[in-house]
Structure 1
Amino acid sequence: MALSFFWPGAVTPELTSEQLYSRYQQYGDTNALEQLIALHGNALYHFLLRQSDRTLAEDISQQCWLKLVSSHACFAGQSNFKTWLFTLARHSLIDELRRLNRWQWQELGDDTACAPFSPEEVLAISQQRLQFGELMMLLPFTQREALMLQLEGFSLQEICQITAQGSETVKSRLRYARQFLQQHSNRAQQE
């Protein structure tokens, strides 16, 4: 469950995420915090879900927001807020995976919801999602992470900031991940 579920409705703030965070930090404006969670909660949760299992994704997501609320983590403004938030989540996830000694494990979730399709189409979509999810889990953690961040809409520079890697390293990870997925999807189509 993503935290933004608790704040339904479209959020179109007049302020940027950075300004919302500043308002929350300076004035304790809970409305600003609610808007931040509504803006970034689902994306953060789904990024973590693709890197781990549902329970761990929920825990890490909540830890990130709690760190933000309790001022244990402080946004310094050296990047955009979303990049900083994902960096915080990534570090928390890696720490937890190291603690649990389970770098490569993930339980695939059943987040398929396709009402307007026929049962055959729903089955085909479900199989494609499952295949993609299984292929993603076959990727090394660093390649999967880079690809998930790119799919989340982060630029190459932002991925470099989040992962603390150089641009050539990130480009290589993305290239190898795409090649792997393409090779395996071509094999599946031929079968």
Structure 2
Amino acid sequence: MTSKELEVLIKAHHREAFLWSRQCCGFDTSLAEDILQHAYLKVLEGKAKFGHQSSPKTWLFAVIRFTAMEWLRKTNHTQTLDGVEVEDIEPDRPVESQEDMLNLLPSRQKEVLLLVFYHQMTIEKAAEIMEVSLGTARTHYERAKKSLKVLIEKKHENAR
């Protein structure tokens, strides 16, 4: 892709790219801005090359995801409840918002759910971005829906 085509791609998907970056960073807005800037630099400087193996949007989201993972690994950021099973969550712990509920899900479940529901991607596209097989993505997707259902039910029980 030419630099002009890359700029058009970035402008066309900026809002969604920012939301995805924010989601990759545990909803930390300032960190998401830094991640997005680094991802854009990788794209514009040619460090991340579009190989025409997927759609441009899917490729851009993958670049953002890997930039976030790389950044979080380098700076030793950790997601506090990453990998916790829903059954292990304290029943009395208040869940205030959708973001709180999503952050309680294991990272892969959260990623596939966000890509499919919030970014209107297919499970196949989500699997490409996450670099997992389609079967694995489907499994995480189904588990995420079940886990989220349990969290919503617990929230409603606590509200009574």
Structure 2 residue aligned with 1:188: 155
- CA drift of 1:43 comes to 0.5
Q: Is the 8 A contact 2:21 2:35 kept in 1?
A: yes
1:82 paired with 2:64, answer: no
d(CA) in 1 for partners of 2:54, 2:19: 21
Correspondence list, 1:33-48, <5 A: 33-48=6-21
The one-letter code sitting in structure 1 at the alignment partner of 2:53 is Q
- CA drift of 1:49 comes to 0.7
Q: Is the 8 A contact 2:101 2:148 kept in 1?
A: yes
Q: Percent identity?
A: 27
Q: Which runs of 5+ in 2 are unaligned?
A: 82-94
1:139 paired with 2:105, answer: yes
Structure 2 residue aligned with 1:61: 36
Q: Which runs of 5+ in 1 are unaligned?
A: 1-21, 107-127
CA RMSD, 1 decimal: 1.9
Structure 2 residue aligned with 1:6: none
d(CA) in 2 for partners of 1:170, 1:162: 10
Aligned positions, number:
142
Q: TM-score, normalised by structure 1?
A: 0.68
Q: Is the 8 A contact 1:136 1:144 kept in 2?
A: yes
d(CA) in 2 for partners of 1:154, 1:48: 16
Structure 2 residue aligned with 1:49: 22
Q: TM-score, normalised by structure 2?
A: 0.80
Q: Secondary structure at the match of 2:22?
A: helix
d(CA) in 2 for partners of 1:82, 1:162: 10
Q: Is the 8 A contact 2:18 2:36 kept in 1?
A: yes
The one-letter code sitting in structure 2 at the alignment partner of 1:167 is L
Q: Is the 8 A contact 1:146 1:170 kept in 2?
A: yes
Correspondence list, 1:92-103, <5 A: 92-103=67-78
